[in-house]
Amino acid sequence: MIIKNLSIQIIFISIIIGFISNFGSNAEIISYLTFLKFEITSYNNIGTYSFSETYYIYNEWWRLLTPMLLHFSFTHLAFNCLWIYILGLRIEEIDGKIIFLSLVIFSSILSNIAQYFFSESAFFGGLSGVVYGLIGFCMIREFEASKNIYEMPPALYLFMIIWLFLGFSGVLDLFGFGSVANFAHLGGLISGIIFAMMYLIIPTKKI
């Protein structure tokens, strides 16, 4: 069976990685996907390489993207996959697979970079940065067109923006949501807005 939708492919890969990595508990698996290269040293300690070592010495540039495939709980995975399914399929259908894939890559890289440089932690993951990228893209597209292109209730956009602010406020920590990659969310939203503006300026063809 060939899965033609890129959104479904991303969801499928994320689910597989989620389970084979035991949602981040299998260090050997996630060591190939984290933003920075790391190794398990003696006594189960983790030795993390620097940014320059990871990217300029070992040339492991795929790590700019792969943190989006890491999830640290089933809830984390399910929530993100639901949004990718809802928004991703609509963007693929309306704007084409090339635009969708480009948006995913762009928002993933920028959200991961933002999370690393502003939080100073290399151990993060999830599709939420990409989700916010899709949201930012859809909001700008609909605002410019003055119509509900993607048939998304405005209340859902508002909910995700409020969720972003709640993350930065620390309220989510109080309710046991754990460590939230707030800068990845913000970076994703900004990248989606930027991508939408480029999309509107540069002529594109649906593919």
- Does any domain span residue 59? no
Single out the catalytic residue among 14, 21, 107, 128. 128
The rounded distance, in Å, linking the Cα atoms of 202 and 207 is 15
The β-bridge partners of 40 are 46
- Does any domain span residue 54? no
Q: Which amino acid is at 118?
A: F
Which segment of 30-44, 121-135, 170-184, 186-200 scores lowest on mean pLDDT? 170-184
**pLDDT band of 143, cuts 50, 70, 90:** very high
- Does any domain span residue 40? no
**Does the global pTM surpass 0.85?**
yes
Average pLDDT on 130-151 reads 95
- Residues contacting 83, CB < 8 A, separation 6+: 127, 131, 134, 135
Assess whether 128 carries a catalytic annotation: yes
Range of the domain at 176: 6-22+69-201
Domain count, the chain: 1
- Does any domain span residue 152? yes
- Does any domain span residue 148? yes
- How much is the pLDDT for 9? 97
The β-bridge partners of 46 are 40
- Does any domain span residue 147? yes
Average pLDDT on 25-49 reads 88
- Does any domain span residue 53? no
Nearest CA-CA partner of 67 in 6, 9, 117, 128:
128
Average pLDDT on 174-196 reads 89
- How much is the pLDDT for 40? 82
Q: What is the CATH classification number for the domain harbouring 102? A: 1.20.1540.10
Single out the catalytic residue among 7, 14, 107, 185. 185
- Does any domain span residue 169? yes
Assess whether 185 carries a catalytic annotation: yes
Report whether pLDDT(99) > 70: yes
The rounded distance, in Å, linking the Cα atoms of 57 and 157 is 41
The rounded distance, in Å, linking the Cα atoms of 29 and 177 is 24
Q: What is the chain's mean pLDDT, rounded?
A: 92
**pLDDT band of 82, cuts 50, 70, 90:** very high
